[in-house]
Amino acid sequence: MAKKLIKGGTVVTAIDQMDADVLIDGDQVVGLLGRDHSVEDVEVIDATGMLVLPGGIDVHTHMELPFGGTKAADTFETGTRAAAWGGTTTIVDFAVQTVGESAMDGWEAWMEKARGNCAIDYGFHMITGDINDQTLKEMELLSREGVTSFKMFMAYPGVFYSDDGQILRAMQKAAEDGSTICMHAENGIAIDVLVEQALERGETDPIYHGIVRKSILEGEATHRAIKLAELTGVQLYIVHLSAQEALDEVIQARDQGLNVYAETCPQYLFLSLENLGNGFDGAKYVCSPPLRDEEAGHQERLWQGLRTNDLQIVSTDHCPFCMGDHHTFGTQKQLGQGDFSKIPNGMPGVEPRMGLMYNGGVVEGRISLNRFVEITATTPAKMFGMYPKKGTIAVGSDADIVIFDPNGSHTISVDTHHMDVDYSAYEGWEMRGKVETVLSKGKVIISDDQYHGSPGDGEYLARGTSQYVI
């Protein structure tokens, strides 16, 4: 591969903004040059008037996740390609250990699904659905393979759920290995009672999904997870935090100096309980935790948490299910006609994340440009052991770069998106800013509104342990 020079743009990292040209040799950045240089024999990529950003990192996706009798609609091929279109150049997906299965087998099965199919680099967290002595040993083996974070569920009894004893044991082991516990913090046992009672009252529409999954039950589970983490000394990362009650718990833990962190997702920043109304159309917005009541102040508190670094990351929890039949996986959201509890949980989001956060965050004045880079790329890389290979533009970093037009625009729509799902949660939203060119490890994979990559460009990332301590 000839050397490349991204010329004339403004390079933005989590801390700097500089008029610099980026020299790339092979798959790496080899120089950040002032404008007065005389580099020759390079392929020039003109970035005049553009922002030159580190490729986005989405540390929470579920390609092909089996859920509720179907599978998430995007495969590793379609989902990672869609991610690239949106300016994301790395994902960390979730491999699954089901009850009775070895965690190692679960990870290998997910490696097999991804191998040779991804457009961008990918790593895995491991969902540990069955904590027993063997799983605890496998956690250590997995960490040596670059799986240094383990997701546990306080929700979904009978599916992914772990009780407090299992959580404690996994946390003790993760603390020993320097791994991170990622927690889905909702009190699933209490929620299931409320679900049953709602259905008995004939409350079957999607809106009741949002009503029964009370924010106080996210706050309670977050508190419990934090106390168990405090006891064991493990690094705890609360995934898809949606409720101010949960944020209050994280703030308190951080004020105490605990290694407790949290992400939120665009759906909790931009959408609300209202979207779950309108009859069965609300099924498009069924995810867990649910979208929250905007008037109760959750959204504003989440934005505040991002500004104060009590929330460190915005990921997507990309887990799409079609409203109509999916061409391969069949009936999806419709499984929950007449019973909201049977609607597969999850929403599409891997493609619009960067655009939504630029428009809704930077353009609308809620966060700075540097903070935008920090929460979408740099901190994800540090939190999950990929920095500085990923998450910044620096000499020696992978040349995962997005050339972004701050004055361009685009409209989000199912008609133009690349995710393999038949709706957009943000249909018709007009966004300022546009991803123009995407490089993954030095290769231009998006330019001139064309995709130039191929399945297999993306490689497995064996991650280190977390590098984030603040």
Q: Where do contacts with ligand URP occur on this chain (CB under 6 A)?
A: 62, 184, 240, 287-288, 317, 319, 345-346
Size of interface with Zn ion, in residues (CB under 5 A): 2
CB 186 within 8 A of CB 218: yes
The one-letter amino acid at 119: A
Identify which of residues 81 and 240 has a Cβ nearer to ligand URP in the complex.
240
Nearest approach in angstroms of CB 209 to ligand URP is 10
Identify which of residues 10 and 70 has a Cβ nearer to Zn ion in the complex.
70
Nearest approach in angstroms of CB 59 to ligand URP is 12
Interacting residues with Zn ion between 141 and 200 (CB under 5 A): 184
Containing H/E element for 6?
strand 4-7
Nearest approach in angstroms of CB 289 to ligand URP is 7
Nearest approach in angstroms of CB 394 to ligand URP is 32
Length of the chain counted residue by residue: 470
Nearest approach in angstroms of CB 196 to ligand URP is 19
Nearest approach in angstroms of CB 283 to Zn ion is 18
**What's the rounded Cα separation, in Å, for the pair 128 and 51?**
40
The residue number whose beta carbon is nearest to ligand URP equals: 345
**What's the rounded Cα separation, in Å, for the pair 128 and 162?**
9
Only one residue has tokens 């150049």, namely 89
CB 22 within 8 A of CB 5: yes
CA atoms within 13 A on the CB side of 289: 35
* Partner whose footprint covers residue 287, from Zn ion, ligand URP, none (CB < 5 to 8 Å by kind): ligand URP
Identify which of residues 81 and 318 has a Cβ nearer to ligand URP in the complex.
318
Identify which of residues 125 and 223 has a Cβ nearer to Zn ion in the complex.
125
Phi, psi of 217 (to 5 degrees): -80, -20
Query: Is 317 an interacting residue with respect to Zn ion (CB under 5 A)?
Result: yes
Identify which of residues 268 and 387 has a Cβ nearer to ligand URP in the complex.
268
The one-letter amino acid at 452: H
3-state helix, strand, coil in the chain (%, to 5): 35, 25, 40
CB 376 within 8 A of CB 55: no
Identify which of residues 60 and 441 has a Cβ nearer to ligand URP in the complex.
60
Query: Is 93 an interacting residue with respect to Zn ion (CB under 5 A)?
Result: no
Helix 133-144 / helix 103-114 crossing angle, nearest 10 deg = 40
Binding footprint of Zn ion on the chain (CB under 5 A)? 184, 317
